[in-house]
Structure 1
Amino acid sequence: MKKQLLPLLTLFTATVFAQTKPDWTTPYERSKGQQTATYAEIITYYQQLDRQFDQAKLIEVGKTDVGKPLHLFLLASDKVFTARPDRVTLLINNGIHPGEPEGIDACMMMARDLLLANKLPQNVLLAIVPVFNVGGCLNRGVSRVNQNGPATYGFRGNARNLNLNRDFIKADAENTRSFQAMYQRLNPQVFIDNHTSNGADYQHVVTYFATQKDKLHPLVSGYMTQTFQPDLDKRLTEKGFPPAPYVNHPADTPESGLLGYNDSPRYTTGYAAMFNCFGFTLETHMWKEYPARVKGSYAFDATVLELCERDARTILANKQRADAAVSQQTTFAVNYKLDRSKVDSVTFLGYEAAYKPSAVSGLKRLYYDRTKPFTKRIPYLNTFVPDLQLTKPKAYVIPQAWHEVIALLTRNGVRMQSLPNDTLMTVSAYYIDDYRTSQRPYEGHYPHSGVKVRTESQRIQFYKGDYLIPTDQTTNRYLIETLEPQAADSFFTWNFFDSILDQKEYFSDYIFEDTAAELLKKDPVLRQKLADKRASDKAFAESANAQLEFIYKQTPYFEKTFTRYPVYRLEGSR
């Protein structure tokens, strides 16, 4: 009886072991490339990797608008899951637009492959956001009509219907606030944001744009453009994915030429650039089959990782020197424009474009003929020059009343000093003289543009608890681009200070008439200003109220805080 029982026990043990052995096939692979993982499948998969491998760790880094946590998956060969100055941190973001899910599936497989093969890099902490826009990932459907698979996928907007890749200055979403806090802890040197393109048809599976080179510190920019990108492109081509710049073209078709992308700080890579981190927005081509796009994403992310491992020492040194230089830098460009006189060229693998009558409208429509591929050099304009440069002050001063802005500064690593006592200071104060406001809402705001300012030196009373912000820190670029009102993505642009644009006190004309007459009688300079204004402006000369308002604004009664920008510059030797 015992002899018969032993083989049965052996068979039972083997069967149990086979049943409990982890299945590392991803949902994408199980669907044979037809489906992307759901949110629950994504998190469950990374949890399993965390439990199985000591070199992997899945953590919650904060909240999201939909109520579920934002996760971060960390891979470290030495099992130390924190950023260190002797190791590159590569941060990969997935699912900012969950309808563009290739990076989600590619990173699940890449993480697994690295762990199973025990081939984790020695000089890189790999940090993967499994899915950033959790609410959009849960909102599953078929909203991208121009996209070739997968069968279903997430939605571009988050739980508040925000496009999170426009949220990196205003940080309206809990997702973004959690990301910013996480980013500052990681302080990455290299960043990838995985996307899918839209637009023209062409042969390339992989296109991408790098952080705008002319915004980066020269040490970081020079290495990125002269070493990292050429080697990245070469290796991608060898892997069967010859890349092209992101297909941003001014005319109907790409062969007319491509334009570089000005990724301002509202975008992920523009945000990273403010902290001397170079980044890449990967854009796989929407109309290629989904498995090809996932493979292209895998190849791109893995190749960036390879180069980070190879050049870790150089990447670290460049960022450390750039950080030190920025803390001492005095002049900063805040707005940029394309320099159309600088024209380069790139090899582009396209399809011939033509026009034919539309079956819908009967009018002329564009189409691409895939039976007529071509390879040619096309123009590429990717040089940006400063459109506005500003000199930093010795420090900024901001009253504690502006708590939303103070919270943003704190979350983004800005060092501030709380005033210990009530203090009277001489500062430079901006007045907003002119601006334009969007007529339609954009990402929950009505952004300002075309901002014009004038500056006055004033003695202003500040109070205990107000904030002094020195400009000798590595966050200087973030400070300048958010606090200077003329900057393209400043806090003023995004409406954080709109209450200063609202006048609070007015005059009663029937009473102020007598006061105004007395003022004119006593002040010949004011009397002449009024006469000159009447002579030059017919509508003004015909409006009694406009003339009273003109005089009112010249008097001590007019509120000094109207249009006075509430972030003050403390000038002095730097």
Structure 2
Amino acid sequence: MTAAQDDPYSTPFESGNGNRTATWAECIAFYERLAARFPGVLHWRQIGLSDTGAPIHAGVVTADGVFDRETLRRQRRPVFFNNNGIHPGEPEGIDACMALVRDFCLQPDRLAALGDTVFLFIPVYNVDGCINRQATSRVNQLGPESFGFRGNGRHLDLNRDFIKCDSLAAQVFNRFFTAWDPDVMVDTHTSNGADYACTMTLIPTQPDKLGGGLGDFLRERMLPAIYGDMDRRGWPTCPYVNLLAETPDDGIEDFLDLPRFSTGYAALHHTIGFMPETHMLKPFADRVASMRTLVEVVLAFTLANAARIQALRNEARVAAARQTRWPLTWRNDHDRPASLRFRGYQAVRTPSRLGNYERLAYDRSQPWEKDIVHFDRCVEDIAVAAPKAYLVPQAWREVIERLQWNGVEMRRLEADQLFDAARVYRVQQVASRPNAYEGHMFHDQVTLASHTEPFQARAGDMWVPLDQPNARYAVETLEPEAHDSFFRWGFFNSVLEKKEAFSAYVFEDTALQMLEDEPDLRRRFEEWKTANPAKLSDQGAVLGFLFAHGRRHAEPEWRRYPVVALMQAVPLVTARA
């Protein structure tokens, strides 16, 4: 028996053969032993349930044994958050975190080095997937010998669920993240894709999207320090290899981390996020070692710069409350290329034995090192003038509760109120993905028309002011054109359906009268006929156009986006409910 196998605090990875990861049961039992033996170091508790009813746990490590969240918040203690097992087939973070927490318990100097910083962690986020074990779902991955599955109990990818919160796990995570408000987050993963020399690659919160002084600090100070320290510790790291073409030779661009992903979600809370991605074809033992090193490197930087990070986050919150213009979508900026020194392997193409095409492979006997293009900037694509507030009708309960889970300040109207200058959207057109995406028919393209009008709010509707620290979350979920708005995820799909129809033999006469009574309809109908001559022989198309565009039988709620943006916060009239 090896020393590791004889050690009651060795992890399954350490006591195994370097190609084994802990099961969920082993992981939880390990932390329970540590928490029982070291109650002044580790506080361990259940924070919720998964969709299959399994418990989700979290741990807190502090150097002084203070674990109460409200006390720590009052003391303004920095919080470093390590999330693991969101994709349990990518388990390096699970094993690395176990060893790191164990060492906090056993090594007083390491614990003391935390100072005032709180080490917060979720050992296994996707519990359902971790329990669902096999050795085949990661098609291109080298080890470990057995691992969990990407999907949770509802077959959802939790790294697409942070905004829509279809899973109980995401609902737990939203509340947990908001309550603890971490300053820095590391969410551990394994990469798919091209072959290259680095074991570790890194997706940070995109600095331009993070914005302001916080984004500048991440780009100019934090990332160079992390890459430099990883290199000095023997694990050279490069940006995530997000290819421009088929191979790295042609360059890479920053991953656009939308709010559906962990780092994009973190940005909505002005948290600096990192998604380390170890390379799938490197030995599992190397992947675990590089992952632990990455967590330690980011933690060390956080410890040394905690006051500055907290100050920049506070500045970001103040700026959000005063912002007059909000970006809604972003794109990679191909007008400002940077250069990245990259170590890759020669791409080789040979005839396939399966079909009439050439297959790609990488020849590790032909390594190369050269500068490649790296598009590391993003620019705004669509932006909108900031309203004073939003009004969310009380009927949309699932939207209101997600805002609440994320700490968005709001007030329930106690009486009917008439607001002037409300920005109202009407949906002109949506283009949705042809197949379901994470349980939704996601709207990839949204075309809107907007106008300003008075708006009658009802007692019980929710008034969401934007002069608040959590304005960014509100804007990027409630503005329908935003990358991951609630509208794009289908929360308001019922407004896209017209509720009444017509019988053609009756409506034919009505339509003729509507053309007499409505000059604007007559004009639009003439334009439509000119543009669509082939449709004039289709009675359904002709009457359908007139029914949809005429005023007589208009349904005001049809294609009208229910959430309105108030350009003035003061109501015109307040009436008793």
Show CA shifts across 1:366-389 (max 9, x none).
222222222222111111111101
Q: Does 1:492 align with 2:487?
A: yes
CA distance in 1 between counterparts of 2:518 and 2:88 reads: 66
Q: Which residue of 2 aligns with 1:17?
A: none
1:172 matched to 2:157? The reply is no
Residue 52 of structure 2: aligned partner: 66
1:46 aligns with 2:31: yes
Q: Which moved more, 1:529-538 or 1:476-485?
A: 529-538
Q: In the TM superposition, what are the counterparts of 1:262-281 in structure 2 within 5 Å? A: 262-281=256-275
Contact 1:417/1:469 (<8 A) preserved: yes
What's the counterpart of residue 347 of structure 1? Answer: 341
Q: 1:453 aligns with which of 442, 448, 454?
A: 448
CA contact (8 A) 1:87 1:316 kept: no
Letter in 2 for 1:476: A
Alpha-carbon shift at residue 243 of structure 1 (Å): 0.4
Counterpart position of 1:512: 507
Alignment correspondent of 2:573: none
Matched ranges for 1:197-276 at <5 A: 197-276=191-270
C-alpha separation between the residues in 2 aligned to 1:528 and 1:367? 61
1:319 aligned counterpart, secondary structure: helix
Deviations 1:143-163 (A, max 9, x none): 213211111011111111111
What letter is aligned with 1:457? T
1:351 Cα deviation after fit: 1.7
Using the TM superposition, give the Cα deviation of residue 415 of structure 1 relative to its aligned residue in structure 2, in angstroms.
1.0
Unpaired runs of 5+ residues, structure 2, are 1-5, 571-577
* Cα-to-partner distance string for 1:156-176 (whole Å, 9 max, x where unaligned): 111111111111111111111
How far apart, CA to CA, are the structure 1 residues paired with 2:51 and 2:557?
35
Q: Relative to 1, partners in 2 of residues 1:304 and 1:532: Cα closer, same or farther, differing over 3 Å?
A: closer
Structure 1 window deviating more from structure 2 (65-74 vs 236-245): it is 65-74
Task: Report the number of matched residues.
Answer: 554
d(CA) in 1 for partners of 2:169 and 2:321?
29
1:302 to 296, 300, 310: 296
Partner of 2:431: helix, strand, or coil?
Answer: strand
Residues 498/292 of structure 1: CA separation in 2 closer, same or farther (3 Å cut) = same
SS of the residue 2:60 aligns to: strand
Among 552, 559, 568, which residue is 2:564 paired with? Answer: 568
Which one of the candidate residues 376, 387, 394 is aligned to 2:381? 387
Residues 217-238 of structure 1 show CA distances to partners (whole Å, capped at 9, x for unaligned) of: 2211111111111111111111
Distance 2:257 2:518 in 1: 52
2:554 to 530, 554, 558: 558
- Aligned with 1:311: secondary structure? helix
Task: Determine which of 84, 90, 98 is the counterpart of 2:88.
Answer: 98
Report what 2:435 is aligned to.
440
Do the aligned residues in 2 keep the contact of 1:206 with 1:297 (CA within 8 Å)? Answer: yes
Instruction: Give the counterpart letter for 2:568 in structure 1.
Output: G
User: Percent identical across equivalent pairs?
Assistant: 40
How far the C-alpha of 1:525 sits from its partner, in A, is: 5.0
- Pick the aligned partner of 2:308 from 295, 303, 314: 314
- What is the root-mean-square deviation of aligned Cα atoms in Å? 1.8
Greater shift after overlay, 31-40 or 516-525? 516-525
- Asked whether the equivalents of residues 189 and 277 of structure 1 are also in contact (C-alpha less than 8 Å), the reply is yes
What TM-score, normalized to structure 2? 0.92
The structure having more radius of gyration, on CA atoms, is 1
Could you tell me how far 1:64 is from its partner in structure 2?
A: 1.0
Q: Is the 8 A contact 1:535 1:541 kept in 2?
A: no
The residue that corresponds to 1:37 in the other structure is: 22
Partner of 1:530: 525
Is the 2:204–2:274 contact (alpha carbons within 8 Å) kept by the matching residues of 1?
yes
Q: Secondary structure at the match of 2:556?
A: coil
Matched position secondary structure for 1:140: coil
The question of whether the paired residues in 1 share the 8 Å contact of 2:514 and 2:552 is answered with no
Amino acid at match of 1:534: K
Correspondence 1:403 to 2:393 = no
Is the alpha carbon distance of 1:513 and 1:351 closer, same or farther for their aligned partners in structure 2, counting shifts above 3 Å?
A: closer
Measured against aligned partners, the alpha-carbon deviations of 1:191-229 in whole angstroms (never above 9, x if no partner) come to: 111011112111111111111111012211111111111
Q: Which amino acid aligns with 1:105?
A: D
Query: How far has the Cα of 1:112 moved from its partner?
Result: 1.0
Contact 2:62 2:116 in 1 (8 A): no
Deviation at 1:511? 3.0
Structure 1 residues 123, 229: closer, same or farther in 2, change over 3 A? farther
From 87, 95, 99, the equivalent of 1:109 is 99
Q: Is the 8 A contact 1:217 1:276 kept in 2?
A: no
Please report how far the alpha carbon of residue 540 of structure 1 lies from its aligned counterpart in structure 2 after TM superposition. Answer: 4.6
2:188 alignment partner, SS class:
strand
- The amino acid of 1:135's aligned partner reads D
